Amino acid sequence: MKNLRNRFERFCFQNRTKGIPNLMLYITIGNALVYLFTMISRNYDLYYMLCFDRDLILQGQVWRLITFIFTSVLGYGNILFVVIGLLCYFSLGRAIEHIWGTFRFNLYYLVGVLLMDIYCMIFGSFADATYLNLSLMISYATLFPNAQFVMFFIIPIKAWVLGLVYLVLNLITVITSPFPYNLFPVVTFANYFLFFGKDVLNLIPLSWQVNASKLFRKKKGKKTGTIPFAGSYEAEHASVKAPYTHRCTVCGRTDVTDPQLEFRYCSRCNGYFCYCEDHINNHTHVE
């Protein structure tokens, strides 16, 4: 499974420039135009022509399998919320595309649309791209866990905190909403886990991971053997333990010299290579 994921990531990297560049820009503009037309004309004719409808799709209107992604902001109501939502979708999508490349980001979004189409065709519900767009937040938090947002232009908050809040809110949606609409978050999470794999652990701070591993680690028994007295051959050739636990492969900083940094291991490098938070997403992968 690891080799398959490595091949997939290598294939995406080799074709990173292929696809539709700035995909979220076009999706954002499309949503804005549909919203403005609907508000100005005060009718939902354009919405009804683009929205997902299983019966009409089976009659040949197959464009609805894609065009429903341009109708996701009509339920926001206030134009201020629409503007903020579209700006967030565009900014997050652009940042993710910059890291992944055009091809992988296009694939991520289109696979999410495909999973939503399959689910809604099976259960006959309407398709909504809102959860797919919101999944960009948790994707961004996974790639940039220490990025900082300023909520209400006052409160600073880390991206990984927003990611965990998003997970909790979606869990509440799954529990409280009626079927089949309650499983919309599950569909988007299936797409999220498909593309991130074990990198989802980036949402959990490294210090929490270390404490959890210590909590569940089995205690090892004391080793028996000879005691290396000072001046003996064993004492002179005993291995010296490094004075740090994590050391960045690029800049050489450690958790001892810079305790405020977070260190992670790259899943794409061939081996166990540790990087600090400044270089985990900005380094040349070791093949």
Q: Which of 2-16, 119-133, 271-285 shows the highest mean pLDDT?
A: 119-133
187-196 average pLDDT score: 86
In the chain, ranges of CATH 1.20.1540 domains: 2-203
- The sign of the dihedral angle between the CA atoms of 163, 169, 175, 180 is negative
Which comes out higher in pLDDT, residue 117 or 230?
Answer: 117
Which comes out higher in pLDDT, residue 29 or 9?
Answer: 29
Q: Which of 57-61, 76-80, 245-249, 254-258 shows the highest mean pLDDT?
A: 57-61
Which tokens hold the place of 73? 């902001």
Helix (H, G, I), strand (E, B) or coil at 156: strand
Q: Which CATH code is given to the segment(s) 2-203?
A: 1.20.1540
C-alpha–C-alpha distance, residues 37 and 251, integer Å: 53
Q: Does residue 285 surpass a pLDDT of 80? A: no
Per-residue pLDDT tens over the stretch 198-244: 777 766 665 555 565 666 665 444 454 455 554 454 455 544 555 67
Which comes out higher in pLDDT, residue 53 or 8?
Answer: 53
CA 278 to chain centre: 18
C-alpha–C-alpha distance, residues 176 and 103, integer Å: 36
C-alpha–C-alpha distance, residues 162 and 19, integer Å: 30
Closest CA to 38 of 27, 28, 49: 49
Helix (H, G, I), strand (E, B) or coil at 186: helix
Query: Before 21, cis peptide (omega within 30)?
Result: no
How many C-beta atoms surround the C-beta of residue 83 within 10 A?
A: 14
User: Are the C-beta atoms of 121 and 62 separated by less than 8 Å?
Assistant: no
- The sign of the dihedral angle between the CA atoms of 29, 170, 196, 138 is positive
Q: Does residue 86 surpass a pLDDT of 70? A: yes
Question: What per-residue confidence (pLDDT) applies to 169?
Answer: 86
CA 110 to chain centre: 15
Question: What per-residue confidence (pLDDT) applies to 221?
Answer: 47
Which tokens hold the place of 259? 């305790």
Of the chain, the end-to-end C-alpha distance in Å amounts to 17
How many C-beta atoms surround the C-beta of residue 244 within 10 A?
A: 12
142-163 average pLDDT score: 78
Per-residue pLDDT tens over the stretch 42-52: 888 898 999 99
C-alpha angle with apex 272: 268 to 273, nearest 5 degrees? 75
